Amino acid sequence: MKPLKTPLVALFCLIFLLMPLPPSFAQLPPAPVTSAVDFDFRQFGPHSPDFVSPWTTFGYDIGDFHTNYANFERVVRDYAAKSDRLRVFERGRTSEHRTLYTLVVSAPKNIARLDAIKANAAKLADPRQLSDAAAESLTQDLPIIVWLAYSIHGNESAGFEAMIQVLYDLVASQNPMIRDLLDQVVVVINPCQNPDGHERFVTWYNAVGIGRPEPFAIEHREPWSIYGRLNHYLFDLNRDLLVASQVESQSAMQAFLEWHPQVCADHHGQTVNYFFPPAALPINPNLDRGQSDKWLDIFGRGNAAAFDRYGWQYYVRDVFDLFYPGYWDSWSSLNGATGMTYETDGGGWKGLNWRRDDETILTLRDGIARHVTASFATLQTAAANRVARLRDYRAFFVQSIAEGKQGPLQCVVFPPEGDPTRRKRLVQTLLYHGVEVQTATAAFTLKAVHDYAGRVQPTRDFPPGTLIVSLDQPRGRLAKSLLEPDTKQDRAFIERQLEKVRRNANRGANAPKEETEFYDITAWSLPLALDVPAYWSGSRPAVSATPVASVVVSPPQSPAPAKTAYVFAYDSDAAAKLALQLLQEGYRLATAVRPLRAGERTYPRGSFVLRVERNPETLHTRLAALAAACGVEVQAVNSAYTDTGITGVGSEGIYTLRPPRVAVIAQEGVSQTSYGALWFMLANDIGMEFTPITVDTFLDLRLGEFNVLILPDGSPGAYRRAFGKEGLERLKLWCQEGGTLICLGGAAAFASHKETDLTSARLIDADDEAGKDGQTASAGEKTPDKKTSDTGSTDEPTGAAARYGEPSRKKSSPKDEKKSAEVGSGAEQAPTDTALSAAPLPLPGAIFRAVVNREHFLTFSHEQAEMPVLLSQRFFRPSKTGTNVLTIENPIPLAGFIWKGNTERFVRNTAPVIEEQLGAGHVILFADDPHYRAIWQAQRRIFLNGLIFGPTITFSTGLR
């Protein structure tokens, strides 16, 4: 507030203050109150004086300050040195070199026999090893194993603080209740699932937070570059279990499979009130509903009793479902545990204090108190039901094996075809999940064989070397959930969404709409996501096979020194990687825009040529080393003469490639997960350098500084504002002079907007999205905690306004429906009058078949006619002036939910990938993020082709 400047103003103020209050003032809410101040964190005393309370060590009381990771490690080291109840296991380092821990706490007698406990739990999880009688005897003796995990989203800070208190109580308490508990339970703690994100958040919050409760205070608005929810590479780790791309996921999954827990509670935090299961619909149909519902109810009632003692608010069966297998709750459930998400209210982005809508104050301490209470209630419920839960744990695996021997899908096989890089990736992923994979040592035949494009053959022969995943294995249910082409949602859930959309259709155009409840993608089948040739069948192969223990691949033979040129085929992600690394190191790499004949072999279009006479002498040695590291076979060619055809290494159709100099926009308005997935792919998978910059910086640079500019998924409106009118002109000039602009998701919507006009392609319903801030893109919504359809980047709060309030968990409702809408899942639903609605309804991630335009450089290395593509909310009318690189001709999805009658009508003849020639440059549009969560890789090489060929190949180059 500014100081009062004149006595006159002061006089008015005095008069105002002396006036009687109008009646409405008296109706203001009472003074703020806090809700859980009297929670006793010493409830499990007395504590042994051998263990100093962490809060004494830290110098602040619980919930008064955010604890950094190093301080937590001090406490762990101290306790581990003194305690006979605690064992600490280091299981690796994060990308920022922080140690990942597994903490195991139990009674000393259990700690002394941990190896035996682990071995016995493993036997329960593999009924092939154990008779029923032996199993029953084991369940009588074995402690129950409970996995408690905290703060996978690093900015959900109450979890981490609660974990420290839980650890202290478990290690130091002399209370008989805790002693009894530890006799019966082995507590396996994943103390901080995302240390890098946690540290970004707490360092920032501790620096700027002053405890203000107003939702608009800066301490409740995490900057773009902090966003501690995500890990170092900006991955949401509670989505990552599907492909285990991140080291945090890999190491935690490995530990989970090693300890075989029967209960898993994953502590999050950003709901209005506390949530614990029973979970919401939909539930993954590979789970046994009778079993999972029973145990979720038992644990839910245990938590409820503990919370009701304090009169606390909480909710169940809403919002947090159990469908997508890449969450900890559903993944642990598919591993036989009772998997649960716990969401606390205080802390996190609400900081130390938060003013609720009823003017009461919610504190970090409140959030911690509830998590501590839920953790202990879970342990008590587990102890009280130990034997019954262990029995049902074994039953899960018995049933899993039995189910694998019946039903329409009993095995999935992968013949040695396609890109070996992706095949290897798929096998590695299955091994991370503990799924048993075998290699056939002989040829075999399967009956009733389905491919992943929906075609069926009566029989099909498979060669030796075919990989087999047979579902009659302990993790058969998990394997099925990862590999089945499509996973159906509960009918009741679908019906509810239909009703919502119907009601919305009857509301006025500007009236508020109900949100649908899809909380994540509805299709993820790994063979489709990775575009790996695969087949499934209702029978299992009778063939000798050996288990696959790892995916070690022997490097290819080094090429002999060449006189004329070295050539390598472009047919894999590894070849793209090698090409980019050679370009990056300054070698003169050329490409054949037509099929190439060299050294008596034929190579597909896009294959690479290194001419000996035009490269330095280091070429041979360096190429051999890089090719071995990438796993690419390179041939030496000793003559430029071609025995057949017109294209040899010295032909006109061979173009020297310009090295890409890549910039990526990274700033407010850009989806962090889209940026992160791109970063991770380039840095980790390809070894490609790039420079993250802001739009302002790009516009200030000389035009030739970069020749590739990538705009990750993000808010179309934010991109429009960032470039502005003049910036847009400069961007066009940059393209015309040879720049390759690659636009993903919301950035493609920005490029196609009529005022941007970087392409003649237009979004269907274009003015609704690209013209606005993009409610469907990252602007304006607080992060959904557990799940969201972030195929289109709704998963980060890069906007501001909505962050002032409680989190909005869902993306916006479908807009502008003129007629009643009927929806359906796949082909089950009859078409209805949804067909008359004027706009496409956004999809929660569904997989379609796209037709590949094989006359364009972006499809080099793709010779198949079709490829799978993941679509969510953007459907582009084809470009009239450019090239439609992928086109949807068949509107029936391969997998996932669609709005029957609406989606098929709008998706038909849209183009998920478009290239527009602009002068000597290119504008390349991807309707959805091609690197989505590192799950989706089918369009990876189309994207990389923009980097490899974009700066060189223009329309006039000609193809074929």
Site residues, Zn ion (CB under 5 A): 153, 156, 268, 785
CB of 431 within 8 A of CB of 551?
yes
Nearest distance in Å: CB 344, Zn ion:
10
Nearest distance in Å: CB 157, Zn ion:
11
Q: Which is nearer to Zn ion, 531 or 785 (CB)?
A: 785
Nearest distance in Å: CB 367, Zn ion:
12
Cis before 595? omega within 30: no
Q: Which is nearer to Zn ion, 102 or 271 (CB)?
A: 271
Q: Which is nearer to Zn ion, 156 or 222 (CB)?
A: 156
Q: Which is nearer to Zn ion, 314 or 690 (CB)?
A: 314
Structure tokens at 355: 């003013």
Q: Which is nearer to Zn ion, 268 or 577 (CB)?
A: 268
- Stated as kind and residue range, the H or E segment containing 26 is helix 23-26
Nearest distance in Å: CB 73, Zn ion:
23
Nearest distance in Å: CB 521, Zn ion:
17
Nearest distance in Å: CB 781, Zn ion:
15
Query: Residue 665 corresponds to which amino acid?
Result: I
Nearest distance in Å: CB 315, Zn ion:
16
* Pairwise CA distance, residues 563 & 611, whole Å: 9
Helix ranges, 455-514 (H): 476-483, 491-505
Cis before 213? omega within 30: no
* Pairwise CA distance, residues 505 & 516, whole Å: 13
Nearest distance in Å: CB 929, Zn ion:
21
Q: Which is nearer to Zn ion, 268 or 941 (CB)?
A: 268
Structure tokens at 217: 């205070």
Nearest distance in Å: CB 249, Zn ion:
15
Nearest distance in Å: CB 692, Zn ion:
26
Closest CB to Zn ion: residue number: 268
Q: Which is nearer to Zn ion, 156 or 199 (CB)?
A: 156
Which residue(s) pair with 592 in the sheet?
654
Give helix 619-630 / helix 573-584 axis angle, nearest 10°: 150
CB of 326 within 8 A of CB of 240?
yes
Total Cβ atoms within 10 A of residue 454: 14
Q: Which is nearer to Zn ion, 153 or 425 (CB)?
A: 153
- 240 in the Ramachandran plot: left (φ > 0), alpha (ψ -120 to 50) or beta? alpha
Q: Which is nearer to Zn ion, 466 or 671 (CB)?
A: 671
Single out the residue of 101, 381, 152, 372 nearest to residue 255, CA to CA: 101
Beta 144-150 vs 185-190: how paired, if at all? parallel
Residue 511, classified by CB atoms within 10 Å of its CB into exposed (0-12), middle (13-18) or buried (19+), is exposed
Q: Which is nearer to Zn ion, 153 or 350 (CB)?
A: 153
Total Cβ atoms within 10 A of residue 25: 8
Single out the residue of 311, 252, 237, 305 nearest to residue 276, CA to CA: 305
Nearest distance in Å: CB 328, Zn ion:
10
Q: Which is nearer to Zn ion, 269 or 882 (CB)?
A: 269
Q: Which is nearer to Zn ion, 344 or 438 (CB)?
A: 344
Q: Which is nearer to Zn ion, 123 or 239 (CB)?
A: 239
Cis before 278? omega within 30: yes
Nearest distance in Å: CB 400, Zn ion:
28
The residues, ordered by sequence, that sit 6+ positions from 54 with a Cβ below 8 Å of its Cβ are 67, 72, 75, 164, 165, 167, 168
Q: Which is nearer to Zn ion, 63 or 228 (CB)?
A: 228
Structure tokens at 639: 């003559």
- Stated as kind and residue range, the H or E segment containing 885 is strand 883-887
Q: Which is nearer to Zn ion, 268 or 810 (CB)?
A: 268
Nearest distance in Å: CB 237, Zn ion:
9
Helix ranges, 176-279 (H): 176-184, 195-208, 247-259
CB of 292 within 8 A of CB of 322?
yes
Nearest distance in Å: CB 150, Zn ion:
10
Structure tokens at 523: 């299709």
Look at the block and give the residue holding tokens 């000996």. Answer: 612
SS3 label, residue 593: coil
The residues, ordered by sequence, that sit 6+ positions from 464 with a Cβ below 8 Å of its Cβ are 440, 441, 442, 443
Nearest distance in Å: CB 35, Zn ion:
21
Nearest distance in Å: CB 153, Zn ion:
4
Structure tokens at 153: 């989203």
* Pairwise CA distance, residues 63 & 55, whole Å: 10
* Pairwise CA distance, residues 145 & 908, whole Å: 51
Q: Which is nearer to Zn ion, 156 or 685 (CB)?
A: 156
**Beta-sheet strand order (sheet of 467-470):** 456-462, 444-451, 535-537, 411-414, 467-470, 438-440, 545-547
Q: Which is nearer to Zn ion, 765 or 785 (CB)?
A: 785
* Pairwise CA distance, residues 731 & 727, whole Å: 6
Distances (CA, A) of 342 to 269, 277, 329, 354, 525: 7, 8, 9, 20, 27
* Pairwise CA distance, residues 92 & 248, whole Å: 8
Nearest distance in Å: CB 519, Zn ion:
12
CB of 566 within 8 A of CB of 623?
yes
Single out the residue of 382, 467, 487, 355 nearest to residue 417, CA to CA: 467
Nearest distance in Å: CB 322, Zn ion:
15
Instruction: Calculate the CA 345 to chain-centre distance.
Output: 23
